[in-house]
């Protein structure tokens, strides 16, 4: 008898909830990748401050004893790199290996990264972070493409449902990770936690390679392979870039002109994280092949891109600023049991799974009455909600002082983050596909992800500059910036609508 998950179709082929069986392969691969990624991320800042002055009293030692500012900078740079690498990840899938081979290689790279994190040496820790960032970027850029390739008929009504099931895999992995990786790492041993992340990703890699036979044939094709002259040019430019970077750091290290500190590694990355999104958008806008209408729509896209960058600047601090506050300043006792701090990281994916269908139903009900908010209003709502969450954050920060406050403040803040995300993120992804010039249709999704890179690069740069992101003044400024950005895009809605043309 067929299982409830893989039932035979009318044609006798097994399906996954009525969808192509390859969706099960991609669902499980993405679930395990998100399990390893979010589990490691839940531990990251806690491990970085462990053993130092900014760690919680009585917490496990054995970490790197960084300050909260340095830990936040490292975390922000790491997250920004994950999304920055989606651009070369898409490029490798389109021009070098094809989507299937790129994901297979990415899976192995991620496993190697988590294994490196599990080794108790500082050098291997940073090697591991780099490998996970590269692998995650490669995988993220290509696995969604393969979901779309399962539906060869453009009119296949199952396509949207397939992506919804795939999205549930993301949230299931993110939800489960802190309960396994987080608790093991926080309460038993940091490196065992990182090691469990490696096991999770290894299961995902094995599952992908075994189940890849169920994927579409197009996933193995290279859509636009490099020509021989292009290959030589890429190799030359890559080697030249590596040589310049290596020469710079050798000069810094051996001349003693400046002290070679961690900031010398982080600062250039944050600058690049800001410059690359600007350069990519400028390059697309300067393309003379674009029609006048496409140029105008790109101008509209810039408004939404900047708004999204402000949003993610605050949202991604759930794993840094809010995590550190939860560790040191919250009372987490529930009926005599002290909840591990890492479980806060399960709140957002849990809330997404609960409220995403409800929010979608609300939009649909309003649409039937011709009262659904348009894209600009939804973006504005997302920004105002995320800004308001940090205004709420000021309350427990003020109450904590030298003591602790109830953990329910953080639960409320993560709930607000989720509602802000549901207003902005799905809308932004959909809008990007509508505003994208035809020539850059497949690349624009990666460009939108660069808003995360830009937002986290700002956070990283502030931390490197010595700004205390855990201070009330900075939190208030960030909250005000998001709310003002929300009101700004709302007040300019007539202008932005005119730029969007027929897109709504």
Question: Domain-by-domain residue ranges, the chain?
Answer: 16-225, 261-504
Task: Check residue 498 and give its pLDDT.
Answer: 94
Question: Pick from 417, 491, 485, 459: which is nearest to 71 by CA?
Answer: 459
CA distance 18 to 1: 16
Inter-axis angle of helices 22-49 and 68-84, nearest 10 = 160
Least confident residue range of 61-70, 79-88, 101-110, 147-156: 147-156
The H or E element containing residue 330 is strand 330-331
pLDDT of residue 163: 79
Alpha helical stretches, state H, 436-468: 444-464
Percent of all residues in the chain with a pLDDT value above 90, rounded to a whole number? 62
The reported pLDDT for the residue numbered 335 is: 87
Give the count of beta carbons closer than 10 Å to the beta carbon of residue 470.
Answer: 21
**Three-state SS string across 345-390, please?**
HHHHHHHHHHHHHHHHHHHHHHHHCCCCCCHHHHHHHHHHHHHHHH
The 3 state secondary structure assigned to 397-409 is HHHHCCCCEECHH
Model pTM score: 0.90
Q: Which fold has domain 261-504?
A: Growth Hormone; Chain: A; (1.20.1250)
| Cα 497 to the center of its chain, rounded Å | 28
For residue 478, what pLDDT is reported?
Answer: 96
pLDDT in tens, 253-292: 777 655 556 777 788 888 888 999 999 999 999 999 899 9
CATH level 3 topology of 16-225:
Growth Hormone; Chain: A; (1.20.1250)
In angstroms, the Cα distances linking 184 to 156, 208, 339 are 43, 26, 13
What is the predicted pLDDT for the residue at 161? Answer: 77
**Is the distance from CB of 466 to CB of 263 less than 8 angstroms?**
no
Same fold, 16-225 and 261-504: yes
Contact 43, 342 (CB under 8 A): yes
pLDDT of residue 260: 55
Mean pLDDT confidence for 98-124: 94
**Which range, of 19-28, 61-70, 242-251, 472-481, averages the lowest pLDDT?**
242-251
User: How buried is 264 (Cβ within 10 angstroms: 0-12 exposed, 13-18 middle, 19+ buried)?
Assistant: middle
Residue environment code for 179-193, b if the CB has 16+ CB neighbours within 10 A, otherwise e: bbbbbbbbeeebbeb
Which pLDDT value is given to residue 261?
66
Average pLDDT along the chain: 89
Q: Among 181-185, 236-240, 363-367, whose mean pLDDT is lowest?
A: 363-367
- pLDDT confidence of 4, banded at 50, 70, 90? very low
């Amino acid at each position: 008898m067929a299982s409830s998950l893989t039932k035979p179709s009318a044609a006798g082929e097994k399906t996954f909830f009525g969808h192509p069986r390859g969706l099960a392969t991609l669902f499980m691969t993405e679930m395990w990748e998100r399990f390893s990624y979010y589990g490691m991320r839940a531990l990251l800042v806690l491990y970085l401050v462990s053993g130092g002055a900014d760690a919680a009293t009585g917490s496990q030692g054995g970490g790197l004893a960084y300050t909260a500012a340095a830990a936040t900078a490292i975390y922000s740079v790491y997250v920004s790199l994950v999304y920055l690498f989606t651009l070369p990840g898409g490029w490798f899938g389109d021009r070098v290996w094809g989507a299937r081979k790129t994901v297979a290689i990415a899976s192995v790279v991620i496993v190697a990264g988590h294994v490196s994190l599990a080794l108790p040496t500082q050098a291997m820790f940073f090697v591991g972070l780099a490998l996970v960032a590269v692998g995650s970027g490669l995988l993220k850029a290509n696995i969604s493409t393969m979901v779309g390739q399962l539906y060869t008929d453009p009119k296949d009504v199952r396509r949207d449902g397939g992506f919804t099931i795939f999205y549930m895999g993301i949230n299931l992995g993110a939800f489960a990770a802190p309960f396994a990786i987080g608790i093991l790492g926080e309460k038993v041993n940091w490196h065992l936690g990182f090691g469990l992340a490696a096991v999770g990703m290894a299961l995902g890699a094995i599952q992908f390679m075994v189940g890849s036979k169920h994927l579409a044939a197009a996933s193995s094709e290279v859509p636009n392979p490099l020509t021989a002259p292009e290959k030589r040019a890429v190799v030359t430019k890559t080697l030249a870039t590596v040589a310049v970077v290596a020469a710079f750091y050798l000069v810094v290290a051996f001349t003693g002109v400046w002290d070679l500190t961690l900031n010398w590694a982080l600062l250039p990355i944050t600058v690049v994280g800001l410059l690359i999104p600007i350069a990519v958008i400028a390059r697309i806008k300067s393309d003379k092949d674009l029609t006048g209408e496409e140029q105008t729509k790109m101008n509209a896209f810039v408004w939404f891109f900047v708004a999204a960058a402000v949003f993610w600047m605050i949202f991604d601090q759930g794993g840094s600023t809010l995590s550190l506050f939860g560790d040191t300043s919250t009372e987490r006792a529930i009926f005599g049991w002290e909840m591990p701090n890492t479980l806060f990281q399960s709140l957002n994916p849990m809330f997404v799974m609960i409220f995403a269908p409800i929010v979608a139903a609300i939009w649909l009900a309003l649409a039937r009455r011709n009262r659904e908010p348009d894209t600009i209003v939804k973006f504005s709502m997302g920004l105002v909600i995320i800004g308001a969450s940090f205004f709420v954050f000021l309350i427990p920060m003020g109450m904590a002082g030298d003591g602790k406050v109830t953990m329910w403040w953080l639960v409320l803040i993560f709930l607000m983050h989720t509602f802000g995300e549901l207003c902005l993120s799905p809308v932004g992804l959909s809008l990007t596909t509508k505003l994208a010039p035809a020539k850059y249709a497949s690349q624009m999704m990666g460009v939108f992800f660069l808003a995360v890179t830009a937002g986290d690069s700002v956070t990283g740069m502030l931390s490197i500059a010595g700004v205390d992101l855990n201070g009330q003044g900075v939190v208030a400024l960030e909250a005000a910036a998001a709310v003002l950005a929300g009101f700004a895009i709302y007040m300019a809605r007539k202008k932005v609508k005119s730029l969007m043309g027929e897109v709504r």
